[in-house]
């Protein structure tokens, strides 16, 4: 069921007064969220989460999107501080991820999977889902997750993110052209579209 717009607006306005910070980089300009973990994201990290896939992180804007009651409840129960305090229990997950492989490792870890299940249970009003992983095991991949080695670090492309958000690049194709299953694929598509968009047009032959 959809949450009343005024409920979501009031909640996020109140949360912003207390100060919001991005779970992955600490930026105070965090008006996006990973609903999956009930934590806030800056626009750059929201783009990186988009590359993880919705099965690992479902991203929404706190100012532009419509929220369901369950999604809003997840944010009310969670928050960046709570998730960060949870990650701080795990020495290999404490530091902010500085590469796509580090981001992938954080969100495919046993610790993050446990936290997802914990919020699932709390939103449903059920009891906690088992014991949290031990501090020396929480960073290990959750069984069934893809190997992190496939997510190599990809440097950011200046200007490409803003261009990609416009939907269309050179007039050929729309949002589907920018869909990707991984951070690397998404980056490659952004780079190709951005290059086409900024490349000078070929000189026209003289009549």
Query: pLDDT, tens digit, for every residue of 77-131?
Result: 999 999 999 999 999 999 999 999 999 999 999 999 999 999 999 999 987 668 9
Q: Which residues, in sequence order, are bridge partners of residue 33?
A: 40, 60
| Distance of alpha carbon 138 from the chain centroid | 20
CA distance 59 to 117: 17
Number of Cβ atoms within 10 Å of the Cβ of 183: 25
Q: Which of 50, 94, 54 lies closest to 71, judged by CA?
A: 54
pLDDT over 90 (residue 50): yes
Which pTM value belongs to this model?
0.70
pLDDT over 80 (residue 27): yes
The H or E element containing residue 34 is strand 32-34
CA distance 187 to 21: 25
State the average pLDDT over residues 56-71. 94
Query: pLDDT, tens digit, for every residue of 153-187?
Result: 333 433 334 333 333 233 333 333 333 334 455 44
Place 19 in a pLDDT band, splitting at 50, 70 and 90. Answer: confident
């Amino acid at each position: 069921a959809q949450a009343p717009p005024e409920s979501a607006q009031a909640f996020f306005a109140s949360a912003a007064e207390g100060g919001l910070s991005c779970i992955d980089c600490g930026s105070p300009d965090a008006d996006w969220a990973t609903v999956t973990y009930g934590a806030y994201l800056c626009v750059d990290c929201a783009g990186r989460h988009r590359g993880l896939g919705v099965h690992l992180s479902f991203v929404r804007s706190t100012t532009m999107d419509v929220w369901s009651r369950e999604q809003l409840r997840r944010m009310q129960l969670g928050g960046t501080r709570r998730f960060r305090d949870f990650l701080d229990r795990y020495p290999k997950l404490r530091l902010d991820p500085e590469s796509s492989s580090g981001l992938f490792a954080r969100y495919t870890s046993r610790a993050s999977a446990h936290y997802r299940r914990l919020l699932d249970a709390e939103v449903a009003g059920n009891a906690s889902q088992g014991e949290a992983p031990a501090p020396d095991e929480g960073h290990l991949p959750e069984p069934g997750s893809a190997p992190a080695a496939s997510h190599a670090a990809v440097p950011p492309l200046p200007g490409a993110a803003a261009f990609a958000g416009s939907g269309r690049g050179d007039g050929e194709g729309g949002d589907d052209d920018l869909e990707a299953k991984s951070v690397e694929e998404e980056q490659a598509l952004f780079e190709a579209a951005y290059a086409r968009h900024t490349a000078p047009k070929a000189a026209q032959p003289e009549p």
